Structure 1
Amino acid sequence: MLIDYHTHHVRCGHASGELEAYVKRGIEIGLTQLGLSDHMPLLHVDPQTYWPEMAMPMDELPRYVEECLHLKEKYKDQIDIRIGLEGDYIEGYEAEIEAIIKAYPWDYVIGSVHFLGEWDISDFRQLAGWEGKDIFEVYTQYYDAVQKAVRTGLYDYIGHIDVIKRFGYKPDRDPWELEKAALDTVKEHGLAIELNASGLRMLCEEMFPSRRMLEYCHKVGIPLTIGSDAHQPERLSQYLDQARDLLKLIGFNEIATFSARNRHLVTF
């Protein structure tokens, strides 16, 4: 069972490659399931005046879903395509997010926190946002937002749950209690998380989440899925061999897949 549930394509503005290029690449490398999961359109900032190339325009969302459905049917005998959305959690915009989620036939919706207010903590162009801030306080705000995302009930799993570490900013105190509280909330609400391998090519040089968090997930029974967070077709499934090896080393023998918003655990 080879899967990759976290991918982006040219519509989002900061990735390259058409959807079909990802499908063809998935077939080429032998994926069993491919999740197409581009970014939800921006809701809380004006895309015309905010940083460019952040997410697909709102009028592209139905075209994205239509193309996903077309490719799912076209390649059904070669690869199992799952239709997803990375639905950024924006505090105060829960109703708008819910409307988007309910409007389309998703197989799964990833709950990811990128924004603290209008600051995208995952955007390399916005690193100035860290200047003068108490890093532990930023971590506290971030993990509070993760818990709020979980509690909405809008999502199937949480994406790159510790992406706050992406650029190597480390607090002067161990953030474990913040991380643990977020994972406990995931467990309480019956969600899964992803092991997102893309951190290996970033400044943090570690997958999302850390091994410590993965071991806690195994201890308390939080299901895991995996994704490469590929933004180019050639990066599809990048580092996922290492991700699977790490999960097996920790003791996982099942991985979460999704269909029509239902979770299925399969042996890998």
Structure 2
Amino acid sequence: MHIDYHTHHARCGHAVGELEDYVRRGIALGLDQLGLSDHMPLVHVDPAAYYPEMAMPLEELPRYVEECLALKEKYRGQIDIRVGLEGDYIEGWEAPIREMIEAYPWDYVIGSVHFLGEWDVTDYRQTAQWEGRDRLEVYTRYYDAVAKAARSGLYDYIGHIDVIKRFGYVPDADVWPLERAALDVVREAGMAIELNASGLRTPAEEMFPSRRMLEYAHRIGIPVTLGSDAHQPERLGQYLPEARALLKEIGFAELATFARRNCHRIAF
């Protein structure tokens, strides 16, 4: 079973390629399932006044879904397309996020924390905001948001759960208690996480999440899915062989897949 559940395309503003380019690339790679999962439109900031090219414009969302569904039918029998969304969790904005999610027939919705307030901690243009901050306090806020995302009931799995490490800003203190507590909440919520292989091409030089988080997830029974977080068609599936090998080494025998907001575990 070869899957890639985390992809982006030109509508989000910071990726390239059309949806169909990713589908054709997925077929060429021999993927069994391809998840299309572009960024949810921003709800808590004015896109015109914020950093450009952050997420899909709201008016494009229905067109995105329509195109995903059309491609699902067009390529039926060649590749199994799953229609998804990467949904930001933003504390205090749960109602409009829920309204957006419930308006469309998703196969899955990724719960990702990018924002702490109006600071996108995953945006390379905003790394200056780390200066002068207590890194442990930032990590504490981040993992608190992850826990709230898991408890919200809005999402099917948590994306790149430790992406806060992306640019190499790490506290002097051990953050394992924060990571473990977040995983405990994910388990209590009956959710999955993803192994996001894109971390290998970031300053962190490590997948999201770390091996120790994956080992703990395996120990407490959290299902794991796979994603390359491709923002270019040629990066579809990048580092997923390494990700699969790591999961097998840890002891995982199944991957989490999603259809109509239901999780299915499939041997790989």
- Asked if TM exceeds 0.5, the reply is yes
Q: Secondary structure at the match of 1:23?
A: helix
Partner amino acid, structure 2, of 1:70: A
Counterpart position of 2:50: 50
Counterpart position of 1:165: 165
TM-score (norm 1): 1.00
Q: Secondary structure at the match of 2:65?
A: helix
Partner amino acid, structure 1, of 2:129: G
Equivalent residue runs for 1:16-31 within 5 Å: 16-31=16-31
Q: Secondary structure at the match of 1:264?
A: strand
Q: Secondary structure at the match of 2:193?
A: strand
The CA distance in 2 between the partners of 1:235 and 1:172, in whole Å, is 33
The CA distance in 1 between the partners of 2:150 and 2:77, in whole Å, is 35
Q: Deviations over 1:180-235 (max 9, x none)?
A: 00000000010000000000000000000000000000100000000000000000
The answer to whether structure 1 residue 124 and structure 2 residue 124 are counterparts is yes
Equivalent residue runs for 1:142-153 within 5 Å: 142-153=142-153
The CA distance in 1 between the partners of 2:244 and 2:77, in whole Å, is 25
Counterpart position of 2:185: 185
Percentage of pairs with the same residue: 75
Partner amino acid, structure 2, of 1:99: E
The answer to whether structure 1 residue 7 and structure 2 residue 2 are counterparts is no
The CA distance in 1 between the partners of 2:172 and 2:137, in whole Å, is 10
Equivalent residue runs for 1:30-69 within 5 Å: 30-69=30-69
Shift, 1:17, TM fit: 0.2
CA RMSD of aligned residues (A): 0.3
Counterpart position of 1:225: 225
Counterpart position of 2:211: 211
Partner amino acid, structure 2, of 1:256: A
The CA distance in 2 between the partners of 1:254 and 1:138, in whole Å, is 33
The CA distance in 2 between the partners of 1:132 and 1:230, in whole Å, is 32
Equivalent residue runs for 1:235-250 within 5 Å: 235-250=235-250
The CA distance in 1 between the partners of 2:25 and 2:129, in whole Å, is 36
The CA distance in 1 between the partners of 2:165 and 2:178, in whole Å, is 13
Counterpart position of 1:140: 140
The CA distance in 1 between the partners of 2:262 and 2:193, in whole Å, is 14
Shift, 1:77, TM fit: 1.4
Q: Deviations over 1:114-165 (max 9, x none)?
A: 0000000000000111010000100000000000101100100000000000
Partner amino acid, structure 2, of 1:132: G
Q: Tell me which stretches of 4 or more aligned residues in structure 1 moved more than 6 Å.
A: none
Counterpart position of 2:89: 89
Partner amino acid, structure 2, of 1:9: H
TM-score (norm 2): 1.00
Shift, 1:172, TM fit: 0.9
The CA distance in 1 between the partners of 2:187 and 2:2, in whole Å, is 25
Q: Secondary structure at the match of 1:109?
A: strand
